[in-house]
Amino acid sequence: MNKNKKRSDCPISNSLDIWGDKWSLLIIRDLMFNKTCTYKDFLNAGEGIATNILSARLASLEENGMIEKVDNPGTKTRVYYKLTTKGIELVPILVEVHLWAEKYFTIPADIKARIKGAKTDKEGFIKASIKELKKA
């Protein structure tokens, strides 16, 4: 991904150049719902990403300012990742994707519950989520 190649001046295209692959948004999702994740957390997220792909995506997302790697030497979880502000601001997009998907796929109730608040008050839910994430 993203070897500094902008395919065009289109904002959609520019965005996809950074996180428009099968995995990046899932990494962002994990960080949205968990605030911080370790390498292992991502691997256990359910979709089964390969270690080399995960490694490459983390590097790419960090390079593009979407996530931050935090070193915490001496603790159990020595390395973890969190969203930057730029990454946090993808929340509205993720919420819209979530809402769209619920209309067209069968989603288990426990997963639906993750954005339940967005159904009654979308803007409020988004604002609260962003605020929470910025505290991490």
Partner DNA sequence: CCGCATCCCTATAGATACTG
Partner DNA sequence: CAGTATCTATAGGGATGCGG
Site residues for DNA per CB under 7 A: 1, 3, 21-23, 38-40, 48-53, 55-56, 58-59, 69, 77-80
- 73 three-state secondary structure: coil
69 binds, among DNA, its own copies, none (CB under 5 to 8 A by kind): DNA
Which residue lies nearer to DNA by CB, 40 or 114? 40
The answer to whether residue 48 forms part of the interface with its own copies (CB under 8 A) is: yes
Q: Which helix (H) or strand (E) holds 36?
A: strand 36-37
Structure-token pair, residue 26: 């899932």
C-alpha–C-alpha distance, residues 52 and 56, integer Å:
6
Site for its own copies in 77-136 (CB under 8 A): 86, 89-90, 92-94, 96-105, 107-108, 111
CA–CA separation, 47 and 23 (whole Å): 9
- 47 makes contact with its own copies (CB under 8 A): yes
